[in-house]
A and B are shown apart, each in its own frame.
Chain A
Amino acid sequence: MFKTIKTSQLQLFAMLAAMLLIVVFFSFATDGAFVSPRNISNLIRQTAIVGVLAIGMVFVIISAEIDLSVGSMMGLLGGVAAILDVWFHFPIMLTVLITVAAGLVLGLFNGWWVAYQKVPSFIVTLAGMLAFRGILVGLTDGATVAPTSSSLAIVGQSYIPSGWGISVVSLLCLGLVAKVYARRKARQKHGVENQSAKFEYAKATIAVAVLMGLLFILESYRGIPTPILIMGGLILIATYVAKRTSFGRRIYAIGGNIEATRMSGVNVERTKMLVFGFNGMMVAVAALILTSRLGAGSPAAGNMAELDAIAACVIGGASLAGGVGAVFGAIMGALIMASLDNGMSMLDVPTFWQLIVKGMILLLAVWLDVKTKKSQ
């Protein structure tokens, strides 16, 4: 039985188990306050920003590169959004469009240096980390840009009306079950060995139950927070890109063996540059959520956010050596990090302890990963 379980599945189980452990621990420690609807709503809203960053970052890491400029880039793009909104009173749609376009350009800029000029991504994005922060401080004169308009507040602070939320989640659940069914059919057609029906449908049932439970909890507070809906949409899109498109396939191939991929005629340079471009767009979305939540563009916004994003990916099973990683894992990683933050804050754990614990968890996660891979 255990021989048939793949490492990726093992990792998934390990992550879910870790998540469960964290939830149970903090629930007891806080006398149930941790799992109150209000706190859960809070917790997953906190996850949104790091989660969106992790979606972009995981592609970069799968392609065996790294992006350290993400925090500063988020600060800069958030600043740009605030400036457009506060100083120039641009309509919200235009602000969003320009910010995302700017994110794409900054990402492609990083990618161009990495892919075509062959400067190691660590250096390129370290330079970006410094320079983007510098540009932000220069643009804003080091002052906070506030207050943002009420329309911008929709992005990060609003909730979806309950009827809409229920229908979206129901649709999602139906889609999930339909997908599992279609996949099994297709595999049967090609004579590929299927996992046992029980196992696949059990997985789908658990996913549906979790989604429904979450919906129930959120509805009993204020409804589904908009940032979570945005993140959910991006998760679906990014998972599709990673698993079902030639672009995604090539990213995994490049991370797995860049030389062999090039020998197969893949335009390795362009693909790499686009990965950074995609990451830039994700950073822009995260920046919009951040600015909207803060109600301001701050020169210190997003400081060190790149480390949270990288940690989320790595805890979620992505390998810095490239070729391995998944969007869902990265999101789980982000959720684990946010739960730790949230739970420890509720327990009034001093900040210095929080940092130490998070550092240790990161180390532990990767150590376990290395261990299990070696023992195979």
Chain B
Amino acid sequence: MKQPLLDMRGIIKSFSGVRALNGVSIQLDPGEALSICGENGSGKSTLMKVLSGVWPFGSYEGEIYFEGNLVKASSIRDTEALGIVIIHQELALVKEMTVLENIFLGNELGTFARLNDEEMHRRTAELLARVKLDILPDTPIRELGVGQQQLVEIAKALNKNVKLLILDEPTSSLTTTEIEILLNIVSELKQQGIACIYISHKLEEVLALSNWVTVIRDGDHIDTRSVENLTQNDIISMMVGRELDELFPREEHEIGDIVLKVKHATAKQAGASRAQVEDVSFELRQGEILGIAGLIGSGRTELMQCLYGSYDGNYEAEVELHGESLAIRSQRTALEAGIAMVPEDRKRHGIVPIMSVGRNITLSVLSQYSSWFGAINEDQESQDIDNYIAQLKVKTASSELSIKNLSGGNQQKAIIAKCLLTHPKILILDEPTRGIDVGAKYEIYKLMFALVKQGMSIIMVSSELSEVIGISDRVLVMHEGRLKGQFDHQGLTQEMIMNCAIKEDTTNV
């Protein structure tokens, strides 16, 4: 019997007791392509990290055979030496260096003292021709578009004698033409006998490119099927297949008048070709939980940043709060107007890790406790801290413990407490339950319903479809910076959202 090129058997990977991968097995022959599909956080990237050696041999259960030999990689260098190369979503090229320098970075030809420039030039030109890039080897990377950079990455991989090429969401930031070029090149590489693992949310590409499709859900290997007779709908139902269980404590609440109107929100990074948010308009009512769904990169977070004044590029939006127009230019104006936000990236934008839980909680409202020269009334401050820690059930040994010692769920509760202390009218929660255990999730949901009952309005961005459906009153779906669909939660299914978020052509808007 012929040996497959890659044979991963029963891979299990746990993080502090939680299984991120629960027995995933995949096989791949030379010249074939396998797509891996799954929701955000289903375990796709963990699987690729195991395969590429980021998680070294011994840190996971199961075996990986490559060309018949057991792989015992201790780092990504080892797997690259075998011919397994991964190209990440975020490109790893040095922007200030040329194409040639990047391709040979770390593998320079020649001796330590003298580089063999001619040979490197010749090889680079050859590689660029293979990926159909019509540029000079001396072009600096920063002058190339994202699509071209992706091709340079592939050329770099080819230079390393790649046998298995892993592409992680390669097309998420590319234009349609660029995608076409990329797909053509991958097909050609397949004909040259190179195997490919393709990770993408774009099911059309998945079906066009691959021989096999593997679906992972919550770390479980659902199925691997041949693309023959496989439809996008088949994949989607495999991806979301789970039942909605009693995880979501929905409580009835009154929904009132319109509180917030957003018109023509547009956000664009300086120098970017594509806007991250394009002409989005929506309304929010008092006491409403508005869910915002969409894939990563669809502009959900950026839209929220526009509302909170924290977007780092150029943005414009007509915002009306309680009928009065509002120009949100900074986080301070947002907070003063009554808009608070729990950011997506807790470590980067949420916590000050070395400061205590209590001091993190009061960071936004210090002036409330301060005298004219800034002396803090610590009595009053500790009272608020104690109240909110009790109210939100933040589990911490003491309010003076560094917040970095708390679990993710408790850090999140502390950040919500920080927002609530500003007494917001509108609370934005960006991925409020990411990386949080089930118990803390449940408490955060409970809290959300308690808040809307008091008349607060909540906007929740989430990648977890079950959560979006289970919690929201109304759901907006974004796709490539635009608002693509709007649904009432009643009768809404995960398939409907996925269809809207993934497929290029949807009519059920």
Contacts and interface: CB of A to CB of B under 8 A. Distances in A.
B140 interface: no
A249 B386 contact: no
Contacts of A192: 382, 398-400
Contacts of B341: 263
Nearest to B367: A246
A264 B332 CA distance: 8
A321 B364 CA distance: 23
B431 to A, nearest CB: 15
A245 B331 contact: no
B129 interface: no
Given A192-B398, A253-B355, A256-B352, A263 B343 contact: yes
A63 to B, nearest CB: 12
A186 interface: yes
Interface in B322-365: 331-332, 334-336, 341, 343, 348-355, 359, 363-364
Nearest to A258: B352
Interface string A61-87: 000000000000000000000000000
Interface stretch (B11-19, B202-210, B372-380): B372-380
Interface residues of A, number: 29
Given A186-B378, A256-B354, A249 B359 contact: yes
A240 B375 CA distance: 9
Contacts of A262: 310, 331
A186 B336 CA distance: 31
A244 B373 CA distance: 11
Nearest to A241: B374
A317 to B, nearest CB: 13
B375 A323 contact: no
B349 A263 contact: yes
Contacts, number: 90
Interface string B152-194: 0000000000000000000000000000000000000000000
Contact of A257 (B308, B310, B351, B382): B351
A246 to B, nearest CB: 4
A244 B335 contact: no
B391 to A, nearest CB: 15
A253 B335 contact: no
Contacts of A249: 359, 363, 366, 376
Contacts of A266: 363-364, 366
Interface in A183-204: 186, 189-193
B374 A257 contact: no
A185 to B, nearest CB: 10
B332 to A, nearest CB: 5
Contacts of B332: 265, 267
Nearest to A247: B374
Contact-residue bracket for chain B: 35 or more
A324 interface: yes
A324 B366 contact: no
B27 interface: no
B383 interface: yes
B418 interface: yes
Main secondary structure of the interface of A (DSSP, over half): helix
B224 interface: no
A246 B367 CA distance: 7
Given A190-B383, A249-B376, A265-B331, A260 B364 contact: no
Interface string A228-249: 0000000000001100111101
A261 interface: yes
B375 A245 contact: yes
B331 A263 contact: yes
Interface in A255-291: 256-257, 259-267
A250 interface: yes
A193 B366 CA distance: 23
A247 B378 CA distance: 14
Nearest to B370: A246
Interface in A317-358: 323-324
Q: Which of B332, B363, B382, B398 has the most CB of A within 10 A?
A: B363
A323 B352 contact: yes
Contact of B331 (A186, A189, A250, A264): A264
B45 interface: no
B351 A260 contact: yes
Given A246-B374, A252-B352, A262-B310, 6 more contacts: A244-B376, A245-B376, A260-B363, A265-B332, A265-B364, A324-B354
19 contacts: A190-B383, A192-B400, A244-B375, A245-B374, A246-B369, A246-B370, A246-B376, A252-B352, A253-B359, A256-B352, A259-B348, A262-B331, A263-B331, A264-B364, A264-B418, A265-B336, A266-B363, A323-B352, A324-B354
Interface of B: 308, 310, 331-332, 334-336, 341, 343, 348-355, 359, 363-364, 366-367, 369-370, 373-376, 378-379, 382-383, 386, 397-400, 418, 422
